[in-house]
Amino acid sequence: MELTPNAVSDEHQWVRDRADVVVPLINETRGRLGTLFDTTVGEVDEQTYLAAVDDVFVRGDVAVNVAAYIRLLRELDVEGDYPGFIVDEVLGRKLAATIAGGDPLGLLAEATFHFADVAVHTDGPAGLDDLDAALAAGFQTILPGWSWRERDSPFSSTH
Establish if 150 belongs to a structural domain.
no
Domain for residue 37, yes or no? yes
Buried b (16+ CB within 10 A) or exposed e, 58-95: eeeebbbbbbbbbbbbeebeeeeeeebeebbbebbbbb
Distances (CA, A) of 89 to 40, 71, 95, 122, 137: 28, 15, 10, 15, 13
Question: Do 65 and 84 meet the contact criterion of CB atoms below 8 Å apart?
Answer: no
What percent of the chain is predicted at pLDDT more than 70? 92
Question: Which pLDDT band, with edges at 50, 70 and 90, does 159 fall under?
Answer: very low
C-alpha 133/C-alpha 92 separation (Å) is 7
Secondary structure of residue 119 in the 3-state scheme? coil
- The per-residue pLDDT for 83 is 66
Q: Compute the distance between CA of residue 4 and CA of residue 68 in angstroms, rounded to an integer.
A: 10
**Structural domain count, the chain:** 1
Higher per-residue confidence, 87 vs 80 = 87
Inter-residue long-range contacts of 102-111, CB under 8 Å, 24+ positions, other chains counted: 105/141, 105/142, 108/141, 109/137, 109/138, 109/141, 109/142, 110/137
Evaluate if residue 7 carries a pLDDT over 60. yes
The parent domain of residue 68 ranges over 5-145
- Residue 59 in any domain: the answer is yes
Whether 10 is in a domain gets the answer: yes
Tell whether 151 is covered by a domain.
Answer: no
- Is residue 41 included in any domain, yes or no? yes
Determine, yes or no, domain membership for 66.
yes
Task: Output the pLDDT for position 79.
Answer: 75
